[in-house]
Structure 1
């Protein structure tokens, strides 16, 4: 029983640390940093052009990772690399939590993937 309590406690501590790590951004600051993003992804993160992903409601950790990958070249897209290059780590976290905080309208992939 003592072993189970120790494992449970360790799991709780890890879970709290992980959520704090992913919650490093600030939604209000993020909203002020998305002026270039909205040209393609929409003011509300709901792109109407299927060639641009909808960002609203995506996981903040996924969005942040994607921006870091564009910035360091692991993802290749000349436009996104240019935009990401000027972002600090804090900017990336702020933008990611901002778009993550927006409600998504995406309930399926119809008309959002080329060929469908």
Structure 2
């Protein structure tokens, strides 16, 4: 019984400690915050121009990571660096929630990989 209580306590502590890792944004707020994104990535998150990634249906955490990497310079793109410069962590979570919740039109990688 003591072991079960210890494990349960550890599990609860771990859940609270890792909560920020699984933080989710608000897709409705993300729609408003993504207003400038749609110019390149499309109103439905499925960019028509192949130079812009399709964000609709992309993994939430991947979008967040990419935006943070543009913001801190790990990804080097002048346009994106400018776009994300003033985004807060909450803004990034909201935008990622918005795009990740959208239906994607990307059902295959054919034609979407350089060299195809």
Normalised to the residue count of structure 1, the TM-score between the two structures is: 0.81
Structure whose alpha-carbon radius of gyration is higher = 2
Kindly state the Cα deviation for residue 113 of structure 1 after the two structures are TM-superposed: 2.4
Count of residue pairs brought into register by the alignment: 113
Gaps of at least 5 residues in structure 2 are: none
Kindly state the Cα deviation for residue 100 of structure 1 after the two structures are TM-superposed: 0.4
For residues 66-101 of structure 1, the C-alpha deviation after alignment (integer angstroms, 9 at most, x for no partner) is 101100101100000000102111100000010000
Relative distance call for 1:14 and 1:105 in structure 2 (3 A) is: farther
Give me the CA root mean square deviation. 2.5
Q: Distance in 1 between the 2:56 and 2:16 partners?
A: 24
CA contact (8 A) 1:50 1:114 kept: no
| Range moving further from structure 2, 20-29 or 69-78 | 20-29
Partner of 2:112 in structure 1? 112
SS state of the match for residue 108, structure 1? coil
For residues 12-55 of structure 1, the C-alpha deviation after alignment (integer angstroms, 9 at most, x for no partner) is 98579767743421010000011111111101110111111110
Gaps of at least 5 residues in structure 1 are: none
CA contact (8 A) 1:33 1:95 kept: yes
Moved segments of 4+, more than 2 Å: 12-24
Partner of 2:81 in structure 1? 81
